[in-house]
Structure 1
Amino acid sequence: MSALPAGRHFFRGDDGYEAARSGTVWNQRVPARHPEVIVQATEVDDIVKSLRYAKANGRKVNIRSGGHSWAANHLRDDALLLDVSRIDHAEIDAEKGTARVGPGKGGSILMGELEAQNLFFPAGHCKGVCLGGYLLQGGYGWNSRVWGLACENVIGLDVVTADGEQIYCDADNHPDLYWAARGAGPGFFAVVTSFHLKLYPRPAACGTAVYVYPIELADEIYTWARNVSAEVDRRVEMQIVASRSVPSMNLETPAITFASPAFADSEKEAEEVLKIFGTVPVVDKALVNIPYMPTDMPTWYTAVMSNYLADYRYAADNMWTSASADDLLPGIHNIIDTIPDHPSHFLWLNWGPSPQRPDMAYSIEDEVYLALYGAWKNEADDGKYGDWARSNMAAMSHLATGIQLADENLGQRPARFASDDAMVRLDKTRAEYDPDGLFNSWMGRL
C-alpha cells in the first residue's frame, strides 16, 4: 500500500494524472516532462508522508505552489511533484502588523484581505500568483522600491525538511535555512508550509500616470528612461511596456506604454512624484497623455492582467543591466522589430540604484530590469515564437549582470541568478539540510 495521501495522489498512467500535471502550469505550453507521481497536499501531514515516500522509493522531489512559472521548473521526469497550492491559509494580526500565510495563498487575494483591514504587503503584480514561489525567488511587488523585496519582509518560515522534520526558521533559528529561503527560488531544499510576513499600513493614496507613444520613438523613450533612472522617486514604479497593440487603450498599433503607479501619503504627493513623466522630450507626440489619475489595486490588477491572458502559450526570459542606452538600443530594436502579437510584450523596469539589502540568498539586481514575454495561441507556432525571448536575451547577455528567478528560463539558457559567494553558501547549506539530494535543484546554473 502507498503511504501517500489517499485520494490526492496520481501516478503516471492513472485517471486524472494528466489533468493534475497540466493543471500545475498556468499557461497553455505544458512541457513534455512527466513526474512519476503528483501529490495534491492539503495539510502538513501530506507533505511529511510524501517526502518519506520519495526517500523510500528513490524519487527526487519538486514543489509547486501556484503561479506563472513560465519554465515550469517543477515538472521533472520521474520525480514526485508536491503541489501545495491548496495550503492557502492566512491569519492576519492587524495589531502586531504580521500575517501567517500558506504557500498557496494568492497574492492578490491576500492584498484584498489586507486592504479591508487598512494594511498592505508588497504582493506580486499579477492575479493568480501564489505566495510560495513568489516569496522564495525574491518578490518584486507593489511598492517594493520603498518597502523592499517581498522576501525581505518574510520574518520567519515554517518548513518541512528533507528528513520530514517540521521546524521554524528565522534570523535566530536555523538562520542558514532562513537565509536560503529568501532568494533560492525553485532551488530551495525544504517545503514551506507557512510564511510569517511583516505588514505595512495601507498607503493613503495610489495614483498613476499613463502615456502611450508610437513605437517609432523607441530611441527617444529608452534613452530618456535610462538617463533618468537614478532620479525616479522610489515611490514610483517606472514600467515601460512595448507591444504590437494596446487593446486596453483601443490601440491596434505598435506602441510603448508607460503605466506607472505611485503610492504616497496624499493625492497631491502622488501627483508630484509622477511629474517626471512630463519631462520625456517627445511628450507632445504621446498618443495617450494622462499625467495623473487616482486608482486602486483592483483596477491595477485588471490592467496588469491585460498583458497576461490565460489562454496563450508563453515563453519568458529576462536580464538585469546597468548598460547605457546606446549599448542597449541595438538589442531593443531587434526585440521590438520581432515581437509577436499581443499579449507578447517587452518590459523595461527602472529598479535601482537600490538600497543595501539584508544578507540573503537573493544577491543580484541592477539599475534596469528587462523581461520578454512571448505569447501565441497555436502549438503549431511553437517553433516560430518559442525562442523569441531566449534568443533576444542571449544576444544581449554581454550587457547583463544576471537574471532574476521569477521569469527564469534556466532550462533553455543557464544564467547567473545569485552572487558567487551566495552560490557557495547555498551549496553548503543544501549539503547540511538535504545531504542526500532529495530535492531537485534549478534546471540550469552556471
Structure 2
Amino acid sequence: MDKRRTLAMKRLPPNFPIIWRGEVGYEQARVGRVFNYRRPSRYPIAVVEATTEDDIVEAVGLANEIGCRVSVRSGGHSWAVWSTGILRASPSNTGRLTNKLLGAYGRMFPGGHCPEVALGGFLLQGGMGWNCKNWGWACERVLGVDVVTADGRKLHCDKDENTDLYWAARGAGPGFPAIVTRFYLQTIPAFSRMRSSAYIYEKKDYRKAMEWILRVAPIYDESTEIVAVASYPAGLSDVHVMVLLVTFKNSAEEALAALQPAEDTAPPGCVQRWFCRETSLAKEYDDQHAANPMSYRYCTDNCYVKNDADVVSVLEDAFTSLPSRKSFSLWYSMAPGSRRSVEAGTMQDMALSMQTDHYFATYSIWEDEADDAKCRDWVANIFKRVERHSEGSYLGDADFQVRRTRFWQDEQGKKLMRIRKEWDPHGRIAGYLDVGDKSGAEGLENVHEWEPK
C-alpha cells in the first residue's frame, strides 16, 4: 500500500469520502461532471467528494501532511478540465438550479448562460453572465465568500474582512489561493416578459450583418443582450450567421419597444428571422444546452478584440469556416458596460480587469477522437491570425496549456500573484496548470504569446 495512503488512513476520520486511485469508482470520481469528453491524462492519487466544510478542512490538512497539491472542481464546463435579497450558495450550484430556486421568490441571478455551469469556477473567473454588457459582471454581485485556506483555516472574506482574498475571489479563476465553500450573492428582480428576436444570414452576407450589429449594439436598450453566432443551423447545409437579441422586461409593450429598433434596421436578405418571440430563462437554458451538447469533445479559445480593430475583418475567417457541424463562433457585445467600468474605475476593486467592447470566442465541437487534430488545429490557426488584434482573454474559455495571453491589466495581474504567494506560498492549491505546471506558486505570466518572456 502507498505510504501516503497508509498515513492518510491513520489520520482521517471513519467514512471520510475519499476514493483512491485504483479503487472502484475512481474513474467516475476523476471525471464525473467534467463536461468536455476530450479527457486529460491527469490522475490524482485520490478524489475527495466533499459535502461539508469540515471535509475540505480535512482534505487540505491531509494534502499538507503528505505533500500533495489540491485541485478543486465544482462542476461545469471547464473546457481545459482544470480540476476543475442575498443568496448564500454553494460553488457546486448550477445556474439553472440557482434560478429555479430563486424564481419562487421573484428573484434571479445573472449566472452562466449554459445550464450546467456551476457557480464556483464561473464566479472566480469573473462571470460573463446574462446581459453582462449592461448589468455588469456576475462577480460584481459577490458580496462575500467563505473559504478554507491552504493551511486549513476557515475564513470569511468581504469588503471589511480578509479584503485581499475578497479582491482576488472576483477574477482570479483557478489560481485563487484558497477553496471557496460559500458565495454570498446579490440577486436581482426576475423578469416576467422575456422576448427574443433573431436574424439569420447566409455566410456571404456576414459582413453586412456584422457591420449592422456592431453599429447599433453600443447604443441599444439596456435590458437587451446581443450576440452574433456563426453555426450550422438545423436544416441548413452551410454556415450561417445569426444575430440574436434577448430582452428582459416586465411587460409585452416594453419588450416590443426594446426590440423594434433592430427590426427596423436589420439588413435585408435574412434566410430566417423571428421578431419579439416569447421566451423565458428556462427556454434560453434549453437552447444553450442544445448548442453545447454533453458527451462531445471540445476545444475552445477566446479573446477581447481591441476597440480600434477592424472587428469585421478580424473575425471573418472564424465566422465563415467551421471545422464541424456542431462547432460555432460568437461575438458578444460588451459595450456600453465595458466603457462605463473603465471610466468609473470599478474594475480596480477586483482582480477582474481585462475587457473591451468586443468579446470573441470559438468552440470546436466534435464526436470522433480521429478528428482531434483537425478540430484543434482549426482553433489554433484562427487564433494565430486573431490574437495580435486582442487585448487579452477571458479565463473561462481559455487553456493555459495551449496559448499564453493576458488575463488581467498589468497592475491587477501583479497584485494577484502577490496575494497568491502570501496566502499559499508553497502552491498547495493547484492553480494555473500551464504546460508542465511550470507556474506553480509563482502564478501565470500575464503576457501575450508573441511577447518576450
Q: Could you tell me the TM-score, scaled by structure 1's length?
A: 0.90
Which of the numbers 137, 141, 146 marks the counterpart of 2:125? 137
| Partner Cα distance (2:353, 2:405) in 1 | 14
**Partner-residue secondary structure (3-state), 1:168:** strand
Which of the numbers 55, 69, 72 marks the counterpart of 2:64? 55
Shift of 1:431: 2.1
Shift of 1:338: 3.2
Q: 1:320 is matched with which residue?
A: 304
| Partner Cα distance (1:367, 1:4) in 2 | 50
* Cα distance change, pair 228–147 in 1 and its aligned pair in 2 (3 A): closer
8 Å contact from structure 1 (residues 315, 387) kept in 2: no
Structure 2 matches for 1:37-436, cutoff 5 A? 37-74=46-83, 97-243=85-231, 245-247=232-234, 250-280=235-265, 282=267, 284-323=268-307, 327-354=310-337, 355-356=340-341, 357-358=346-347, 359-436=349-426
Q: Which moved more, 1:251-260 or 1:175-184?
A: 251-260
- What CA deviation, in whole Å up to 9, does each residue of 1:30-50 have, x standing for no partner? 011222221111111110111
**Partner-residue secondary structure (3-state), 1:269:** helix
* Cα distance change, pair 218–4 in 1 and its aligned pair in 2 (3 A): farther
Q: Which moved more, 1:207-216 or 1:177-186?
A: 207-216
| Partner Cα distance (2:220, 2:203) in 1 | 22
| Partner Cα distance (2:205, 2:229) in 1 | 13
* Cα distance change, pair 307–201 in 1 and its aligned pair in 2 (3 A): same
**Partner-residue secondary structure (3-state), 2:196:** strand
Which of the numbers 8, 21, 34 marks the counterpart of 2:43? 34
Shift of 1:254: 1.8
| Partner Cα distance (1:409, 1:388) in 2 | 15
Shift of 1:111: 0.4
Shift of 1:299: 0.9
Q: How many residues align?
A: 420
Unaligned runs of 5+ in 1: 76-96
**Partner-residue secondary structure (3-state), 1:151:** helix
8 Å contact from structure 1 (residues 159, 191) kept in 2: yes
Shift of 1:203: 2.1
Answering whether residue 29 of structure 2 is matched by residue 20 of structure 1, we say yes
**Partner-residue secondary structure (3-state), 2:316:** helix
**Partner-residue secondary structure (3-state), 2:224:** coil
8 Å contact from structure 1 (residues 267, 294) kept in 2: no
Shift of 1:294: 2.1
More helix by share: 2
**Partner-residue secondary structure (3-state), 1:381:** helix
Q: 2:440 is matched with which residue?
A: none
| Partner Cα distance (2:180, 2:54) in 1 | 13
| Partner Cα distance (1:337, 1:350) in 2 | 19
Shift of 1:285: 0.9
Q: Which moved more, 1:270-279 or 1:419-428?
A: 270-279
**Partner-residue secondary structure (3-state), 2:257:** helix
**Partner-residue secondary structure (3-state), 1:195:** strand
8 Å contact from structure 2 (residues 132, 334) kept in 1: no
**Partner-residue secondary structure (3-state), 1:192:** strand
Identity %: 36
Q: 2:441 is matched with which residue?
A: none
| Partner Cα distance (2:357, 2:283) in 1 | 28
**Partner-residue secondary structure (3-state), 2:199:** strand
Shift of 1:259: 2.3
Q: Which amino acid aligns with 2:104?
A: A
- What CA deviation, in whole Å up to 9, does each residue of 1:41-62 have, x standing for no partner? 1111110111111111111111
8 Å contact from structure 2 (residues 213, 243) kept in 1: no
Unaligned runs of 5+ in 2: 1-5, 435-443, 448-453
* Cα distance change, pair 105–305 in 1 and its aligned pair in 2 (3 A): same
Shift of 1:135: 0.8
**Partner-residue secondary structure (3-state), 1:418:** coil
Q: Could you tell me the TM-score, scaled by structure 2's length?
A: 0.88
Q: RMSD of the TM alignment (CA)?
A: 1.8
Shift of 1:330: 4.0
